[in-house]
Amino acid sequence: MTQDCKRILAVVGTRPEVIKMAPVVHALRQTRWADVRVLATAQHREMLDEALAVFGITPDIDLNIMLPQQSLPELTARLLRALDEVITAETPDAIIVQGDTTTVMAVALAAFYRQIPIGHVEAGLRSGNLYSPFPEEMNRTVAGHLSRWHFAPTKGAEANLLREGIAPDRIHVTGNTVIDALLEVASRATLPSPLKVPAGARMILLTAHRREHFGAPLAEIFRAVRDLADARDDVCFIYPVHPNPNVKETASRLLGDHPRILLCAPIEYVSFVALMKRAYLVITDSGGVQEEAPALGKPVVVTRRETERPEAVTAGVAVLVGPNYDALIAVVGRLLDEPLFYARMAVGASPYGDGAAAGRIVSVLQKDLLGEAKDAASVP
């Protein structure tokens, strides 16, 4: 590593982090000034490995941190100890994290203790409820207040940071790197879909995994899905079930024996993109899917009470219904029965970026770390 070369540690722990960090890692590796080292905490082992393979990234360091039935306090404590050892050994000039996982919060705290500057990709998202999503709202808030660079995906995220007292010169509106990754994957010659949809059926893609939905709220969502499938023989549901036992048991009990509801294991990202492209609409509590599906022209029904991604709701490409049986039945029914309502939501536009976010992030880092910058495209 030359004197002018800066060591950057990029940390990922879950599949969504890899998807959104991959464009930044690849963009940094195309420069001559950045020595990029990738650290995987493996907060989600199998799903993380799959996403790393999709984007051709091999971790330089792998903590393999997760244990069966590990509690959040145990995970956080083990992460802090392991991360401090890595940071001490690596001596990075900067650390980059993405999103709102326990990995992100722990990295921000460990870097703060060692006075290493943090860049936060997808900064400034807020639901306004500290316990929803849980623990993500707390994680991203803590990481935000410990970061030097805030790479906000939208003007709304920037406004959230400004309200919290973050200095304007530390906030950079870049767009969301998820659109960079999505457009690259969606453009590949073949997008294999491992699941067969019955001829003539309108396929609805379902994702549900939020910790705050465990128990009665998740059962409410599943009851609505089952009743929709019972009432409509031209509709089928595909649900890649999250591996958490709290999700798997409820899904198996309430949805597992229906001929038009297909439960399957989590699907690797390329095939999941193919399923989104094939879907008639998407029901989700996932943050990333709220960003991706509108860009593919798919209406999104969000089964959460609050969302840190209000831009899609404001743009009319997503509807917030909460884990509410009646609201979910009503909105999905309208999308299935009212072509004009469907057409207004299926416009194929995303308020989250134009696919050039990673380049803008690299330009900011280059300017601050080296005192120079390449030209970057303006933010949409």
Pure H helices in the chain = 15-29, 45-54, 72-90, 102-113, 136-146, 155-163, 177-186, 216-231, 245-255, 269-278, 287-295, 310-314, 325-337, 339-345, 357-370
Q: Please list, in sequence order, all residues whose beta carbon lies within 8 angstroms of the beta carbon of residue 352, skipping any fewer than 6 positions away.
A: 153, 154, 175, 176, 178, 179, 291, 294, 295, 309, 311, 312
Tell me the pairing of strands 281-284 and 300-302: parallel
Q: Give CA separation, 345 vs 272, 298, 301, 315, in Å.
A: 21, 7, 10, 9
State how far the Cα of 103 lies from the Cα of 100, in Å rounded to an integer: 8
Chain centroid to CA 212: 17
Q: Give CA separation, 16 vs 261, 291, 372, in Å.
A: 25, 12, 31
State how far the Cα of 210 lies from the Cα of 195, in Å rounded to an integer: 24
Position of tokens 């990673």?
A: 358
Query: Which of the residues are catalytic?
Result: 100, 122, 136, 209, 211, 242
DSSP character for 115?
Answer: T
How many Cβ atoms from other residues are within 10 Å of residue 153's Cβ? 28
